[in-house]
Structure 1
Amino acid sequence: MSDPVTAQERTRTIEQMFSRLVPHYDRMNRLMTGGRDGRWRTLAVRLSKPEGSAVLDLGAGTGDLSAEFRRQDAARVIALDVSAHMLTRAEEKFGRQQIEWLRGDALHLPFADGSFDVVASAFVMRNLPDLAGSFEEMARVLKPGGRLVGLDITHPPDSRWGKVLRVGFEQGVTRVAGLVSGDRSAYRYLPNSLSGYPTADELSAMLETAGLVDVSYRRLSMGVVALHIGRKR
């Protein structure tokens, strides 16, 4: 478990950084993923089997994942994010009729045990100040049999091609994104966020430690993105 003061400080730093990025966030996502992030979200939602489910979108950002859950017939979607500015933008995009927008953080989810059929996140896990503690909270609010789905950038395969992909991510895409957004420091953070982030296998083990079973993952985009899925007993 991370030191609570350190976790709070990092949460505040992340909140401030992403709040600054709101005007450029959607455009940057398209640019940095070559327009593939929408397809990845669609796949993540489909694999979660959302029909008729109560869903928590953790770190909802500007709402794209939440909206995809509604498109795929989730019964209820709560979109939670630490940044009020992100949530304001999300509400401007998608309205309030079918999605509930809520400010909060992953270490202190304001829900009773067993509240959701699905807890999902997209490009959030690397930014959590206490990943193990956050996984415990996600598992807590899942119903028995509920599904956790996490989509994020990951360490590419340990191969020559994997190293090429990583260099391209660290030096190419993020530099261009920083120039377009005008906030180079924020996009310099993105490759740095991978330095202490678990590998895909290590992340699977952490999910199992948090109480999930049938944990698996698939690599996307030549291995630089991983989609993890697990189920609560």
Structure 2
Amino acid sequence: MTRATLDKQPHEVASMFDDVAANYDLTNDVLSLGQDRRWRKEVAKAVDARPAQRILDLAAGTGTSSLPFTAAGAYVVPCDFSLGMLREGKKRHPWLPLTAGDATRLPFADGVFDAVTISFGLRNVQDTGRALRELYRVTKPGGRVVICEFSHPTWAPFRTVYEEYLMRALPPVARAVSSNPDAYVYLAESIQSWPDQPGLARQLQQAGWSRVAWRNLSGGIVALHRGTKQA
């Protein structure tokens, strides 16, 4: 079983997600105590997909995160660099145009998407700034980005409890429900080392995005960042 390290070598991260593809959605539901469903609903609201719009759903995994956009009538391209995830997604959702792609070298032309979004995947990319610039490149002028990612609770006592859960409670739970529990040790470490809300906002601005803002979910366990590409 593969466990990626915090230098986030692409082949290690992809292989790790290949290992957990079959039970990934179920495991996330268990580990988040069902909160991941609420977080994804908030992503769908923020993206606000409309009929005939083109949406890029990056790090889409099995394609579950893309379903609300298709339900809204948009044309959605779920993209991921884990072939194991894409194969699993094709079994479940054969109608989705699942696409293999690296976030730092997206296989799309300039300015083709009305909105781009990535949920719980940006922190697994080796070069965050390059990925944000690639998202900017493939977005139409006036288009928008929505990033849903684990972040840092804003209330100090709660943050302490949460970090204890990540490093002490999460690994035993992962061993019970995941085919590769070591992968979730990496995921916990990657959450702790990830920038806070203002830090990610600065990286978005440095990549060219304007009107950058964020909203905390579940007390800051997750943050929903948004930005716009200038027309």
Please confirm whether the aligned pair reaches a TM-score higher than 0.5, indicating the same fold: yes
1:132 aligns with 2:129: yes
Q: Which blocks of at least 5 consecutive residues in structure 1 are unaligned?
A: 1-6
Q: Who is 1:51 aligned against?
A: 50
Alignment counterpart, residue 227 of structure 1, candidates 221, 224, 229: 224
Alpha carbons 2:170, 2:184 under 8 Å: kept: no
Alignment RMSD? 1.8
1:149 aligns with 2:146: yes
Q: Who is 2:116 aligned against?
A: 119
1:207 aligns with 2:204: yes
Q: Who is 1:69 aligned against?
A: 69
Alpha carbons 2:69, 2:76 under 8 Å: kept: yes
The one-letter code of the counterpart of 1:36 is Q
Deviations 1:51-78 (A, max 9, x none): 031000101101111112112221x111
Q: Superposition pairs for residues 148-187 of structure 1, below 5 Å? A: 148-157=145-154, 159-187=156-184
Greater Cα shift, 48-57 or 178-187 = 178-187
Q: Who is 1:105 aligned against?
A: 102
State the shift of 1:8 in Å: 10
Distance 2:91 2:121 in 1: 21
Distance 1:180 1:54 in 2: 35
Deviations 1:72-101 (A, max 9, x none): 221x111111011101111211222xx211
The one-letter code of the counterpart of 1:104 is G
Greater Cα shift, 122-131 or 153-162 = 153-162
Q: Who is 1:3 aligned against?
A: none
The one-letter code of the counterpart of 2:39 is W
Change (3 A) 1:125 1:46: same
1:15 aligns with 2:14: yes
Distance 2:140 2:79 in 1: 18
Q: Who is 2:77 aligned against?
A: 78
State the shift of 1:162 in Å: 1.5
TM-score normalised by length of structure 2: 0.92
State the shift of 1:180 in Å: 1.9
Greater Cα shift, 173-182 or 26-35 = 173-182
Deviations 1:141-170 (A, max 9, x none): 000111101111112225122111221222
Distance 2:7 2:55 in 1: 26
Deviations 1:175-222 (A, max 9, x none): 302332142211111111124321111000100111111111111112
Q: Superposition pairs for residues 21-32 of structure 1, below 5 Å? A: 21-32=20-31
Q: Which blocks of at least 5 consecutive residues in structure 2 are unaligned?
A: 1-5
The one-letter code of the counterpart of 1:217 is W
Moved over 3 A (4+): none
Aligned length: 225
Distance 1:32 1:226 in 2: 17
Change (3 A) 1:197 1:177: same
Distance 2:59 2:102 in 1: 8
